[in-house]
Chain A
Amino acid sequence: MNFDLVFDSMFLQPFFIGLIFAALLPLLGCYLRLREEWLAALALAQMAAAGALLSLLTAVPLMAGGVAGAAVAVLLKNAVEGGQRKRQGAAYALLLLIGWGVSVLLVSNLPVADRVGHALFDGQLYFTEIPHLIAALVCAVTVLGVLWRLSPQVLAAHFFPDFYRSRGGSARRIALVFDGLVAASLALATMSIGVMSAFALIFVPPWLAWRHAQSWRGSLFWATGIGVAAHVLAFVGALLFDQPFGPLLALVLAIVGLVAAVWQRMHDAG
């Protein structure tokens, strides 16, 4: 173990990129959980990975390909759903299969896609560059700015759908804007930290936060705090033990989630 690595300036940039997504994705995850759309995160991340791999066939940059893949996913999701929530699960499952199928076929048939594919699925945080940092910062500022205004509308459309509609609000429009934020964030996160760790950040911190928080605002703070803490732990662990960051972050979150669930169950029983 080399503790000096943790403080090496070479790793500062990847650390901050990961930190941005570790704070941002759990925040979005709380709203996805409210809308019962957390599975969408995995479908969007898969489609972003497929989009990035497809971009290898063209002159389109990898990051733009990823964002385009996620954007196509949002359009397909809305086309399948047609505004009906009962069709939601089917849309996500289909997108997940499409994303996975396209990715595996490209990795199998294109030598260059094999390397990029591994990077996307394992997470390539240590190989991120300045454009990744700029994209992450722009994404975070945009998402936080829009979410600040959108949050009351998302909550009102969920808890008072008839009231919201009768005041001229459009739940469909809100959903489209929100989907756009999630798609862009997940696409950029997938390019940096990988498919499964992006999904883990969307799913686990909100799931834990909802159990312990005493208010909606509290759940946002809890979820962000858990995401950031898991990121720091996984980042330091990956450097010290020379392991890939993505799987380590997913494992840290999954283990914390399991321990918390078992502890809660024992606490409830006893």
Chain B
Amino acid sequence: MTGLPLLQAENLSAGWSRAAGPVIGPVSFRVQGGEILGISGPNGTGKSTLLAAVSGAAQIFSGSIMLAPGARLALQMQQVPELDGVPLTGEELLRLTGAPAAGLPPWLQSRLFERLDQLSGGQRQCLHLWACLDAPGEVVLLDEPTNNLDPAGVAFLIMALRQRAEQGAAIVLVSHDREFLVAVCTRIEEVGQ
């Protein structure tokens, strides 16, 4: 760890339109390489909006976000695009973000060349998460990553997150699953209180 944050937010207020006003903030946080920061809070407190503001999808009304020079973001929001009927394999999906297949658990490795619409919702979610988590990049942002995952999927996710942090990535997780955050995060910030 260098001690310098890879991602930093200072008094950030963000939302989706000027008319509707800010959904979250002011909020401040900083994440260094090797850290896993959990953002927790009740539904409707703007946790997802916070990540959207970092990615540039939501508007920043005040405050600032600073990404370390040269640091690349890898972001996965809650909604996974419709895959039913689309002839895309897991291997082709991973290639889109540059994530290597090595490191996937055997129960996903063996199905990598099958169409995604032949996999379960949890398997698809795992592949989507892996595609972002293991894509070349220094800052990883995941929104509600445990959605649709069974216990095996959650266990795999926790292991993968720890490995990625050990490799030096700064990770921000937004989740309503307090138990999951406690299990994996080095620090948890509460919002909306």
A residues near B (Cβ < 8 Å) are 34, 152, 155-156, 158-163, 165-167, 209-211, 213-219
Check if B73 is an interface residue, CB within 8 A of chain A: yes
Given known A-B contacts A156-B97, A215-B115, A216-B92, A166 and B87 have beta carbons under 8 A apart: no
Specify which of B56, B114, B131 is in contact with A165 (CB 8 Å cutoff).
Answer: B56
Specify which of B54, B113, B135 is in contact with A163 (CB 8 Å cutoff).
Answer: B135
**For the complex, what is the distance from the CA of A161 to the CA of B143, rounded to whole Å?**
14
B residues near A (Cβ < 8 Å) are 52, 54-57, 72-77, 81, 85-89, 92-93, 95-97, 113-115, 131-132, 135, 141
Residue from B54, B85, B92 with most neighbouring chain A CB atoms (10 Å) = B92
Specify which of B72, B73, B87, B135 is in contact with A214 (CB 8 Å cutoff).
Answer: B87
Shortest B52–chain A CB gap in Å is 8
Specify which of A156, A159, A162, A213 is in contact with B87 (CB 8 Å cutoff).
Answer: A213
A162→B92 contact, CB < 8 A: no
B57→A162 contact, CB < 8 A: yes
A162→B115 contact, CB < 8 A: no
Given known A-B contacts A156-B96, A167-B73, A215-B115, A162 and B88 have beta carbons under 8 A apart: no
**For the complex, what is the distance from the CA of A161 to the CA of B97, rounded to whole Å?**
11
- Collect the chain B residues with CB atoms within 8 Å of residue A163's CB: 73-76, 97, 131-132, 135
A215→B87 contact, CB < 8 A: yes
B57→A165 contact, CB < 8 A: yes
The 3 closest A-B pairs by CB, nearest first: A166-B55, A166-B73, A213-B87
- Collect the chain A residues with CB atoms within 8 Å of residue B97's CB: 156, 160, 163
- Collect the chain B residues with CB atoms within 8 Å of residue A152's CB: 95-96
A158→B57 contact, CB < 8 A: no
- Collect the chain A residues with CB atoms within 8 Å of residue B113's CB: 214-215
In the assembled complex, 7 residue pairs joining A and B whose CB atoms fall closer than 8 Å, in A order, are A160-B96, A161-B81, A162-B55, A167-B73, A215-B88, A215-B92, A216-B92
B55→A159 contact, CB < 8 A: no
**For the complex, what is the distance from the CA of A5 to the CA of B86, rounded to whole Å?**
41
- Collect the chain B residues with CB atoms within 8 Å of residue A210's CB: 85-87
**For the complex, what is the distance from the CA of A34 to the CA of B85, rounded to whole Å?**
10
